[in-house]
Amino acid sequence: MIDLDEHNNQSAKSGTPAHDRSVLRQKVPLRLLAAFAVGVVLGGFGFSQLRDSRDQRDRNAVVALVAFPQSADSGSAASEGSVRLSGYLALANGGPGPSTVRGVHAERPGVVIHSIGAPRLLPPGSTGQLAVELWFECSVARLQREPLPLGLSVETDDEQGRKVSYPVALVGDDWERDALSKCSGIFAVG
């Protein structure tokens, strides 16, 4: 005879269906918790990589150039009261990434400047020169005091072309002195 009022306090033996369900109920939450933890770690790593990539791309897009007249090597007086000079523009890259200066151009009444040399690659923190041609109109006795906005075509490390402007002061520099000297030669001859 079986007494149904008596409870068996022993746990189910291993290998029985009751034991297997009990073990399975204990393992499922642990597996879900482990999968969630792995997902959080991988998601955090992926987000960190994405943010680092975006930060690097933003740094590579920064253009921080300084430009100033360096020298005027040679020139010739044109017959219409103007002077054409060849010279160099000094460039310094203060940005976090390399920049390639593809060309420069500036124009205002009495002055035109444009690059004639090959593009110049400037690693971060470096300086270089870019060959330019300058045209000065002799009827403008002195250059304007305000800096000339020099337009630079620049390619950054992310291979994107950008147009930037940098003010260049021409008053009192070699370019102005050479232009005025050549202009005075035109007026002395004429």
Question: What pLDDT was estimated at residue 189?
Answer: 47
Question: What pLDDT was estimated at residue 169?
Answer: 84
Q: Which residues contact 134 (CB under 8 A, 6 or more apart)?
A: 72, 75, 84, 85, 86, 87, 111, 112, 113, 175, 179
Mean pLDDT of the region 57-63: 66
Q: What are the pLDDT digits (tens) for 128-144?
A: 999 999 998 887 656 66
Question: What pLDDT was estimated at residue 190?
Answer: 47
- Say which CATH topology domain 65-189 has: Immunoglobulin-like (2.60.40)
Question: What pLDDT was estimated at residue 24?
Answer: 61
Q: Which residues contact 101 (CB under 8 A, 6 or more apart)?
A: 65, 91, 115, 119, 120, 122, 128, 130, 152, 153, 154
CA-CA distances (angstroms) from residue 24 to 10, 15, 17, 19, 34?
Answer: 19, 12, 10, 9, 15
The string of DSSP codes covering 92-136 is EE-SSS-EEEEEEEEEETTEEEEE-S--EEE-TT-EEEEEEEEEE
State what percent of residues in the chain have pLDDT above 90: 23
Whether pLDDT at 11 is above 70: no
Higher pLDDT, 145 or 23: 145
pLDDT averaged over the chain?
A: 79
State what percent of residues in the chain have pLDDT above 70: 72
